[in-house]
Structure 1
């Protein structure tokens, strides 16, 4: 069998390699805070808007209920969040930051901001907008299959 393109010319391979580099870098930066990159995504969403439901987190992160439950359980054990049933609907669980979780944001958010600066270095606003447009288009292409 012959590949139509060289291995390194497949866009999916380039995206995968980039994701591995980004994940490895942010993982090393988050290690002192005992946060995995995926856990940090939940925390960042909560630092932006506390009291999201597990379903909202799942939709925002494109993760299934089982993954969100596992990640929030781990964050709860670290005493960074608390899960509370919504009194109006016992089927709904809302996620809130603890004071420890809120305080952690003061340390981690600057790391995330610096990470973003490194990633976006030498990219213009137009290039970032185009990258966002293209990545969104690629995601839609795959989701439409």
Structure 2
């Protein structure tokens, strides 16, 4: 088998291209892809803990804490001590973070449409299924 035929190589190549593409999409808003991921999760449900945020974005806790510190400095989020567990911090959006949704989400959706252009909904769902199956095959190795 040649290098370009390995699934891992194809996935890595595609990941790099997608990462660069989506970074260009969010650059005008002065955010990174990782910050965009955090914002998307918080737009769905704010008030979750940093640990929950790490799980939902597939990031480690140390990196999440660092990213949240930067986002807090930039006025996108604020953190408060969790009333149920004083060791945890809950993350909330500021007004600026909430308003950003109206600007970022439409271009994000358009970028997604560009990404899946030419694929049927069934193909997209099958692709998700296959990637998740591969993920499950190697997640505990």
Q: Do they fold alike, i.e. is TM over 0.5?
A: yes
**Worse-matched range after superposition: 83-92 or 7-16:** 83-92
Q: What root-mean-square deviation, in Å, do the aligned CA atoms of Structure 1 and Structure 2 show?
A: 0.9
1:119 paired residue number:
115
CA shift at 1:88, angstroms?
A: 2.5
Q: Runs (4+) of structure 1 moved beyond 6 Å?
A: none
2:10 to 14, 32, 35: 14
Query: 5+ unaligned residues in a row in structure 1: which ranges?
Result: none
CA–CA separation in structure 2 for the residues paired with 1:44 and 1:108:
10
Q: Secondary structure at the match of 1:28?
A: helix
Q: How many equivalent residue pairs?
A: 141
Give the TM-score, by structure 1 length: 0.93
- Residue equivalent to 1:95: 91
2:88 counterpart SS class: strand
> What SS does structure 1 have at the residue aligned with 2:75?
coil
Using structure 2 for the length normalisation, give the TM-score: 0.96
Q: Kindly report which structure 2 residues correspond to 1:1-145, keeping only aligned pairs within 5 A, or say none.
A: 5-145=1-141
Gaps of 5+ in 2: none
CA deviation profile, 1:28-86 (whole Å, cap 9, x unmatched) = 11111110001100001111111121111111122111011011111111110001111
CA shift, 1:120, in A, is: 1.3
Please state how far the C-alpha of 1:144 moved relative to its aligned partner: 2.4
